[in-house]
């Protein structure tokens, strides 16, 4: 399925683009807006409280005879649980997305040691380009690892056996003892 934009260009709205149907030598624009069912599926895959909006726009540009470059923008509104209070924390994500799909991709052997490739945005070109999967992966990478609500505060809790001095955050600082020793030596 495609729509025609204001400049009379074809814009893909399908989530999966079969490589066999992609015209060689021509740029492909896409505009993927997730519907209710896709938002529910994205929420489940991301394991978060909610995904209110998710839109992935951009273009696929041919690179050489068989490779493709994807340049796009992901826009999403997600709700995660606060790591301190478990209250809902809403986050707006607007990030660029770049991928390069190559036909000559070599998977390393299972037990081999390999260096990290120079371009971490390179992916193998399969039978289709799954825009939905790329969008969900991009949101996962852009979400806060430890979302916190504005009024969340961690309180210090001290646990110890009876008769033993509790270890506090202040006492656990690695240079606290050295600072006390230095101060003692300076006095002498």
For the stretch 158-188, pLDDT in tens is 677 888 877 776 667 767 677 778 888 888 7
Please, which residues have CB within 8 angstroms of residue 100's CB and are 6 or more apart in sequence?
63, 67, 68, 69, 70, 119, 121, 122, 123
> How much is the pLDDT for 2?
47
What is the average per-residue pLDDT within 2-8?
50
* Torsional sign, CA 139, 29, 62, 23: positive
CA distances 161 to 10, 99, 104, Å, are: 71, 55, 62
Please, which residues have CB within 8 angstroms of residue 42's CB and are 6 or more apart in sequence?
34, 51, 54, 135, 136, 139
For the stretch 103-113, pLDDT in tens is 876 666 677 67
Beta strand 122-124 pairing with 88-102: parallel
Whether the Cβ atoms of residue 27 and residue 60 lie closer than 8 Å to each other: yes
pLDDT: which is higher, 40 or 161: 40
Position 138 pLDDT exceeds 80: yes
What is the average per-residue pLDDT within 79-101?
93
Query: pLDDT-based confidence at 53, cuts 50/70/90?
Result: very high
Q: Please measure the distance between the N-terminal and C-terminal CA atoms of the chain and give it in whole angstroms.
A: 83
pTM exceeds 0.75, yes or no: no
């Amino acid at each position: 399925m495609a729509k025609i934009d204001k400049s009379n260009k074809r814009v893909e709205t399908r989530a999966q683009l079969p490589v066999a149907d992609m015209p060689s030598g021509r740029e492909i624009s896409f505009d993927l807006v997730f519907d209710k069912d896709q938002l529910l599926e994205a929420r489940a895959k991301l394991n978060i409280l909610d995904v209110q909006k998710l839109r992935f726009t951009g273009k696929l540009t041919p690179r050489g005879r068989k490779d493709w470059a994807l340049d796009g923008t992901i826009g999403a509104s997600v709700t995660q649980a606060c790591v301190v209070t478990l209250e809902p924390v809403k986050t707006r994500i607007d990030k660029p997305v770049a991928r390069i799909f190559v036909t000559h991709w070599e998977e390393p052997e299972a037990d081999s040691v390999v260096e990290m490739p120079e371009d971490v945005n390179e992916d193998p070109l399969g039978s289709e380009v799954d825009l939905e999967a790329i969008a969900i992966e991009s949101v996962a990478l852009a979400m806060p690892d430890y979302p916190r609500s504005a009024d969340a505060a961690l309180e210090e809790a001290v646990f110890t056996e009876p008769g033993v001095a509790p270890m506090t955050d202040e006492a656990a600082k690695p240079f606290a003892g050295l600072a006390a020793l230095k101060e003692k030596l300076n006095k002498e």
